[in-house]
Homo-oligomer: A and B are copies of this chain.
Amino acid sequence: MNEKVTIDFETLNSDLVDVFNNVMWIEEAALKQSYFSDITLKDMHTIDAISMYSEKSASQVAKIIHLTPSAMTTAIDKLVEKGYIERRRSNTDRRVVRLGLTHKGRVVYRAHQGFHRDLTHNLLRDMQPTEIEVVQRAIHNLVRYLANVIKH
């Protein structure tokens, strides 16, 4: 005898809306309560885009987080002043600014990664290996769909 399977699109939809509407805010609030209360979630995303070992240029980072170059400049100024990131002029092309995380920057970066890992762990709570595979497939569907939306 089969278990009854309830498919409730509306519930799932509203759960999903709920997650999207709340994640950002929770992330922001968590940050404010933490040891790193001097940066906003947007700052965090800048740090995240620079990431650990990359040495990306200012304009590359700007593109990733969808900021204009001018806004990027002031965002960098602020994070440099607070000691999270470093500006290094490239040796090979002295127009470009290479960005790197300071020690402090690497610490928040890892903390933030921890937050996301918690999210993933909780998404998978009480799931069997085969079920985990299903969830992975679903999320990856979403990634591809969004990637598709981006290129018109």
Interface residues of A (CB under 8 A from B): 5-9, 11-13, 15-26, 30, 45, 66, 116-120, 122-127, 129-143, 145-146, 149-150
Contacts and interface: CB of A to CB of B under 8 A. Distances in A.
Contact of A143 (B18, B117, B134): B18
- Main DSSP-derived SS at the A contact region: helix
Nearest to A112: B17
A28 to B, nearest CB: 9
Nearest to A144: B122
A127 to B, nearest CB: 7
Contacts of A122: 141-142, 145
Contacts of A132: 5, 7, 12
